């Protein structure tokens, strides 16, 4: 039994050979859409570049900025919409100190993370003599915060960079704070004094996992970052070895227990850690270009990455490092280390809102927001 003819073949036979075929019509070219625009918030005064951060909170973005001494210091937060537009007024995380213009402790570094439906923020503040690290939990919208946790203080070191002293990490339903302590005896080196780093856990729950670290000769910004990815704790520290910066990336797996450490990017100033292409990327600014390594398998597998670029594909930004790439679709943070240095410096913070890339940038003592997006097929700045 023969199979029935297809509908297309039956129609073709019914038309006969005498009819001329209709001329083909070209599909009109699809014009790439223009990027949406909205007014951005006015710049905010601050002391150093690290005194601000951005974090994705659901459909919104939270912008944290530390105030300068002349305004009493303090730490404030503001909600931004998907195009970076201000949505509501500034709110205090820690209010400014009244009556102490010019001498109030001021924030020099901020880090934040979302854990489930709650927010955690940690910050470093200093005065003329002392550096203190504090941390607090808040609701997902950043509207209310609990009493700050006071961590051990240390003497102010004018040689140390403002950033590289604190990081926050969501770990198994908890939030850990990694922070720099006062210098102390070295545990495993010939030096007599080392810079020390510790980990503590916010709120109630199981005690924090992991030990502290010590560096005999830290980089100016030694704590590069920390994040948990696929059940593995990743963190990185920078030390000066043979006169040049060298970053050590640690991978710690708790079940089953395994830890691994590798030295990477010698001679490069580390930028940060970020999830990328199904792994964890560690990037740095090297003498010739921004470079990186892709960390897999608890740090046992390292793949070099070169040449960061951002292009547009069907209206979406695509971040590419050589053969590795990732399309930006759902909102996400931790993008600064993945971007070309021309888009985000080592001190900038960048997030993707689902509609635009927002970059918290420092400019002449001010905290500013820059916006980038695919605009008619080209990835471009859209806040001009």
**Residue 43's CATH number:** 2.130.10
On whether residue 6 sits in a domain, the answer given is no
On whether residue 8 sits in a domain, the answer given is no
On whether residue 363 sits in a domain, the answer given is yes
CA-CA distance, 370 to 67, in Å (whole number)?
A: 20
Q: Which two tokens stand for residue 65?
A: 């900025």
pLDDT at 20: 45
On whether residue 26 sits in a domain, the answer given is no
On whether residue 16 sits in a domain, the answer given is no
On whether residue 15 sits in a domain, the answer given is no
Cis peptide before 256 (omega within 30 of 0): yes
Place of tokens 């053969």: 323
Do 167 and 225 touch, CB atoms closer than 8 A? yes
On whether residue 17 sits in a domain, the answer given is no
Phi/psi at 349 (5° precision): -125, 135
Over its length of 384 residues, how does the chain's per-residue pLDDT go in tens digits? 434 333 332 223 233 444 444 454 545 445 677 878 888 999 998 888 789 999 999 889 999 999 988 888 899 999 999 999 999 999 999 998 876 666 778 899 999 999 988 999 999 999 888 999 999 999 999 999 999 999 999 988 877 777 899 999 998 888 999 999 999 888 766 667 899 999 999 876 545 555 689 999 999 999 999 999 998 999 999 999 999 999 999 999 888 888 899 999 999 999 999 999 999 999 999 999 999 999 998 888 899 999 899 999 999 999 999 999 999 999 999 999 999 999 999 999 999 999 999 999 988 889 999 999 999 999 999 997
Question: What is the model's pTM?
Answer: 0.88
Note down the domain range covering 132: 38-381
On whether residue 33 sits in a domain, the answer given is no
Sign of CA dihedral 54, 274, 136, 160: negative
pLDDT at 380: 96
Q: How many domains does the chain have?
A: 1
């Amino acid at each position: 039994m023969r199979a029935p003819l297809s509908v297309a073949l039956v129609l073709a036979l019914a038309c006969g050979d005498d009819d001329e075929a209709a001329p083909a019509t070209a599909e009109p070219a699809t014009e790439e859409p223009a990027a949406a625009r909205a007014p951005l918030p006015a710049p905010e005064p601050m002391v150093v570049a690290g005194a601000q951060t951005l974090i994705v909170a659901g459909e919104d973005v939270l912008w944290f900025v530390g105030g300068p001494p002349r305004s009493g210091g303090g730490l404030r937060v503001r909600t931004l919409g998907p195009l970076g537009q201000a949505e509501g007024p500034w709110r205090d995380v820690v209010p400014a100190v009244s009556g102490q213009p010019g001498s109030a402790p001021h924030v020099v570094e901020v880090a934040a993370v979302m854990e489930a439906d709650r927010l955690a923020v940690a910050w470093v503040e200093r005065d003329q003599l002392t550096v203190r690290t504090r941390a607090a939990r808040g609701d997902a919208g950043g509207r209310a915060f609990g009493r700050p946790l006071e961590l051990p203080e240390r003497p102010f070191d004018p040689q140390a960079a403002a950033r590289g002293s604190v990081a926050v990490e969501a770990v198994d339903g908890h939030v850990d704070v990694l922070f720099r302590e006062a210098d102390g005896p070295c545990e495993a080196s010939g030096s007599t004094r080392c810079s020390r780093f510790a980990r503590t856990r916010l709120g109630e729950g199981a005690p924090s996992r992991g030990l502290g670290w010590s560096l005999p000769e830290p980089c100016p910004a030694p704590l590069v970052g920390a994040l948990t990815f696929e059940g593995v704790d990743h963190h990185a520290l920078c030390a000066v070895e043979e006169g040049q910066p060298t970053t050590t990336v640690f991978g710690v797996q708790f079940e089953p227990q395994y830890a691994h450490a590798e030295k990477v990017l010698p001679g490069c100033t580390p930028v940060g850690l970020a999830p990328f292409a199904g792994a964890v990327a560690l990037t740095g600014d090297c003498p010739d270009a921004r470079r990186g390594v892709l960390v897999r398998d608890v740090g046992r597998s390292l793949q070099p990455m070169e040449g960061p670029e951002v292009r547009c594909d069907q209206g979406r930004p695509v971040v590419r490092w050589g053969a590795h790439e990732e399309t930006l679709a759902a909102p996400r943070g931790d993008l600064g280390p993945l971007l070309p240095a021309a888009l985000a410096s080592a001190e900038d913070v960048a997030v993707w809102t689902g509609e635009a890339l927002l970059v918290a940038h420092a400019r002449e003592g001010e905290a500013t927001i820059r916006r980038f997006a695919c605009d008619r097929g080209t990835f471009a700045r859209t806040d001009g």
